[in-house]
């Protein structure tokens, strides 16, 4: 696994659980509001890289005091070693929460079928017709994201969908459109926008007017 971050103890990332958090390297989106820009490239800077064996060693020592592990990113489903890594976590009797953008439904299907997930949190970035523009992708497979959403909702696994409220980029009407995309009966939460750490420098002030950025389609490097 390509890991670029590890928090041994968190009280807010896994609902109702004391958990550890691991961050995978690499993401296929370039959301302008992303506050984890160092996780976007597929290869981590040496100073940011975290050893999988170090993570497993710490988790083995603390597994009796943890309620689970959150695997976040970046985008974890980009990692070919993800199923193997989750099996290592399950071998420690740790529940697993996956954070995902939903772009790889086949990977998600495998993880659910293999019962490697105990909670799934999926980001819903934008209304469907603005997904490509707001995720910084030339060809965004919205159908794949929709398939993942439906799969998660029908899985029987505890889950939540979540959206970052980025007022410079999204209107109240579009927030309403996003809400209609959420499967009936599924939890949806709004996340706070943290402008100071935005991937797009134009968003690094909360006073950025929406009109100045709404038509931009390339925020990635």
Q: Domain holding 173: CATH number?
A: 3.20.20.70
Residue 208 counted as domain residue: yes
Q: Please count the structural domains in the chain.
A: 1
Sheet holding 3-10, edge to edge: 3-10, 19-24, 68-72, 95-100, 119-123, 159-164, 187-191
- At residue 218, the pLDDT reads 28
Residue 220 counted as domain residue: no
Please identify every stretch of the chain with a pLDDT value under 70, giving residue numbers as ranges. 138, 206-221
Range of the domain at 33: 3-213
- At residue 110, the pLDDT reads 98
- At residue 137, the pLDDT reads 83
- At residue 206, the pLDDT reads 54
- At residue 72, the pLDDT reads 97
Residue 221 counted as domain residue: no
Q: What is the pLDDT of residues 160-199, one digit of tens each?
A: 999 999 998 999 999 999 999 999 999 999 998 888 878 8
* Residue 119 three-state SS: strand
pTM for the full model? Answer: 0.89
- At residue 98, the pLDDT reads 98
Torsion (CA) 210, 72, 18, 13 in degrees, nearest 10? 10
- At residue 207, the pLDDT reads 52
């Amino acid at each position: 696994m390509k890991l670029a971050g590890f928090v041994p103890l968190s009280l807010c990332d896994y609902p109702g659980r004391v958990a550890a958090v691991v961050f995978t390297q690499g993401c296929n989106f370039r959301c302008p509001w992303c506050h984890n820009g160092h996780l976007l490239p597929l290869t981590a800077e040496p100073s940011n890289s975290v050893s999988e064996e170090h993570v497993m060693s710490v988790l083995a020592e603390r597994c009796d005091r943890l309620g689970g592990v959150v695997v976040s990113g970046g985008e974890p489903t980009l990692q070919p070693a993800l199923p193997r890594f989750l099996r290592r976590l399950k071998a420690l009797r740790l529940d697993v929460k996956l954070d995902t953008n939903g772009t790889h439904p086949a990977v998600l299907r495998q993880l659910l079928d293999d019962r490697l997930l105990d909670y799934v949190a999926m980001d819903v970035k934008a209304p469907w017709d603005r997904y490509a523009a707001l995720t910084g992708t030339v060809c965004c497979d919205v159908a794949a994201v929709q398939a993942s959403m439906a799969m998660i909702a029908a899985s029987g696994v505890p889950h939540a969908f979540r959206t970052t409220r980025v007022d410079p980029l999204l209107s109240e009407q579009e927030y309403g459109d996003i809400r209609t995309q959420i499967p009936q009966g599924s939890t949806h939460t709004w996340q706070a926008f943290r402008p100071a750490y935005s991937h797009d420098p134009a968003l690094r002030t909360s006073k950025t007017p929406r009109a100045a950025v709404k038509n931009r389609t390339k925020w990635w490097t």
